Amino acid sequence: MKRKRAKRFSIEALDDIKDRALEATEYARSLKECQYADLRIGLTEYKTASSENGNAKEVREEESASLGVRVIAGEMAAWGHYGQPLGKLDFKGKALWRVLRHGINSAYERAQANAAKKLSLKDLAPALAPVRLAPVQVCQDVVPAVFEEDPRQVPLKEVLALAVEVTKEMKAVAPEVKFAYVAVLTALTRELFYSTEGAAIDQSHALTQGNMYIVAQKGGAIPETFIDYLGAQRGWEVVKGKNLYNKSLLDLALERTRDTVELSGADFLTSSEKPVVVVTDPHFNALLVHEIIGHPTEADRAIKMETAYAGRSWFLRGLNDSELGKQVASNLLSAFSDPSLEGYGHYKYDAEGVPAKRAILIDKGVLRGFMNGRESAVILNQEPNGSMRATECHYVPLVRMTNTVIATGDRNPEDIIAEVKEGYYVVNHRIPSISESRENFRISAQKVYKIEDGKLVKLYRGGGITSDSRAFFMSIDAVGKDLAIFPIPNCGKGQPMQVMKVGNGGPTLRGMAKLTGEYR
């Protein structure tokens, strides 16, 4: 007899728990000295497959759900947090109420304990203060996912077949291709947010992504490797060409493979002793803005809330010693973070239920602000801009980049290069090496071209640029109009570590920096 397949654990399960979530926030409000509480319940359905050299490597179809609760309580108000993964049985009958009540009680007890500890230390540590949240608009809303092809309707065998096909074609590009790997993911996520202030938000998004890794080697030379990503918060149409490249996953993977093969026979770049003219492309600038502008303008980092495990910010040494209102870059350079734009940092409400809005970070070279949450907004005396996010609901929300970019300029990229008598064109980012406060950097590129009389005359590999951050940004004398926002799927932050998807990019830039590569 044919066995009946069990009904899958799907995002529709959240439809039946909204009343329970509302009851849970009412219960939290009733607790003595509870000043604020919120809860987040999320569920993701996803399919993923990977392939190496034309062979199937892994294939999975799964669901993941979790709960996160935050409470502010106590005489010297403090946070308490509780988080746990959820299973299908946790959504059944009275089980969910038990889970929610346990989560709220646990977070509340931790908040009370933290508040009592702060109060006992106030004479020794006068900087300790009650937690305060900036006031925000309280929202009730439903935000549906946007897609043309529902990730849940894509057959798992099609996901695997694509991964296998792409690596088979990559391997066939040339004998020099020693290794080709692709992983494909398509997913649908839904999260509920409820607070004691009355917020009730139901927010969903789709995500489809392709990762590629290539190794090529010519003869006995040092192998050349490259990793890149294609992705968008959309459905299966992303891998077919509906993405920032306007290319299918196969076409982009073949392009990157051919680049890697070509590079495997190129000379290595030699480091320069002095700064030279460099033109950096949008892909390279995605990592530049991520490391040197994005992280230092995350408010929790800037005000030293995560110094012990992630460093500080070159923009803010102390509340009375910062670069706010000062020139940190050429007046041609502006930067902002905007969740309303297409990209991996797109959303309507953050993990605190705050309506997301554009945060101006640098305006015409002057530092203007930080990405923040409700607590850090109070400390910095800023308006909240909805920049708190968590990888999954059971993690504590942190201030995270959204779509954080260098703003577009008015120059044609071709003209920016054509004006260079002698310099270098730096293409596609690879690996960063940065100081803890981001006041200087070294970032490697996939390709570096020598420019002579406005023309690209020679290709190098193994190179990149290094500079004092302020010196490089002050040297910018041309900004292109070719802004692009690239998917960055692996931004790490927090303790325990959270890996977040963010969007970063910018237009073509021209400035001065030292070359990195071989030392002779």
What are the pLDDT digits (tens) for 14-63?
Answer: 999 999 999 999 999 999 999 999 999 999 999 999 999 999 999 999 99
Confidence of residue 225 (pLDDT cuts 50, 70, 90): very high
Q: Choose among 249, 231, 232: nearest CA to 240.
A: 249
Half-sphere exposure in the Cβ direction for 8 (13 Å, CA): 12
> Regarding beta strands 455-461 and 267-268, do their DSSP bridges make them parallel or antiparallel, or are they unpaired?
parallel
CA distances for 203 relative to 15, 136, 176, angstroms: 12, 18, 46
Q: How far apart are CA 236 and CA 113, in angstroms?
A: 47
Rounded Cα distance, 192 and 178, in Å:
46
The pLDDT of residue 1 is 39
What's the rounded Cα separation, in Å, for the pair 156 and 134?
Answer: 45
Q: Which amino acid is residue 347, in one-letter code?
A: Y
Cα separation, 276 vs 515, in Å, equals 7
Residue 499 tokens read as 């890996």
The confidence score (pLDDT) of residue 2 equals 42
From CA 437, how far away is CA 455, in angstroms rounded?
36
Residue type, 268: F
Rounded to 5°, angle at Cα 395 from 378 and 192: 85
> Alpha-carbon distance 78 to 73, whole Å?
6
64 is written with which tokens? 């993941």
H or E stretch including 29? helix 18-30
Domain ranges of the chain: 11-46+62-143, 151-191+206-266, 276-516
| 242-300 tens-digit pLDDT | 999 999 999 999 999 999 999 999 999 999 999 999 999 999 999 999 999 999 999 99
- Residue 142 predicted with pLDDT over 60: yes
Residue 354 above 70 pLDDT? yes
> Quick one: 274 exposed, middle or buried, by C-beta within 10 A (0-12, 13-18, 19+)?
exposed
Closest by CA position to 277, among listed 448, 428, 447, 480: 448
pLDDT of 201 higher than 90:
yes
Instruction: List Cβ<8 Å contacts ≥24 apart for 258-261.
Output: 258/173, 258/174, 259/226, 259/446, 259/447, 260/177, 260/214, 260/215, 260/216, 260/224, 260/225, 260/226, 261/173, 261/174, 261/176, 261/177, 261/216, 261/218, 261/224
**pTM of this structure:** 0.94
Calculate the CA dihedral of residues 370, 371, 375, 378 and round it to 10 degrees. 30
CA dihedral 204, 297, 287, 495 (to 10 degrees): -70
Write the pLDDT tens digit of every residue in 54-88: 999 999 999 999 999 999 999 999 999 999 999 99
CA-CA distance, 458 to 54, in Å (whole number)? 33
pLDDT at 310: 60
Q: What are phi and psi of 402, to 5 degrees?
A: -110, -115
Q: Minimal CA–CA distance to 83: which of 28, 35, 25, 40?
A: 40
Quick check: 264 and 462 in contact, CB under 8 A? Answer: no
Task: Select from 383, 42, 37, 347 the least CA-distant residue to 188.
Answer: 42
Q: Residue 379: enclosing H or E segment and its boundaries?
A: helix 374-380
The number of residues in the chain equals 520
Looking at per-residue confidence, does 6 or 165 come out higher?
165
- The separation between the first and the last C-alpha atoms of the chain, rounded to the nearest angstrom, is 74
Mean pLDDT of 192-210: 98
**232 pLDDT band (50/70/90 cuts)?**
very high
Q: Which residue, chain included where needed, has tokens 């300790």?
A: 128
Q: Residues 460-502: pLDDT tens digits?
A: 999 999 999 999 999 999 999 999 999 999 999 988 889 999 9
| Coil vs helix vs strand at 247 | coil
CA distance linking residue 335 with residue 146, whole number of Å:
27
pLDDT of amino acid 125: 86
193-207, 251-265, 306-320: the lowest-pLDDT one: 306-320
Quick check: 519 pLDDT over 60? no
∠ CA 299-304-306, rounded to 5°: 85
Checking if the pLDDT of 6 tops 50, the result is no
E strands present in 311-415: 316-318, 321-322, 335-337, 359-363, 366-367, 388-389, 398-399, 403-406
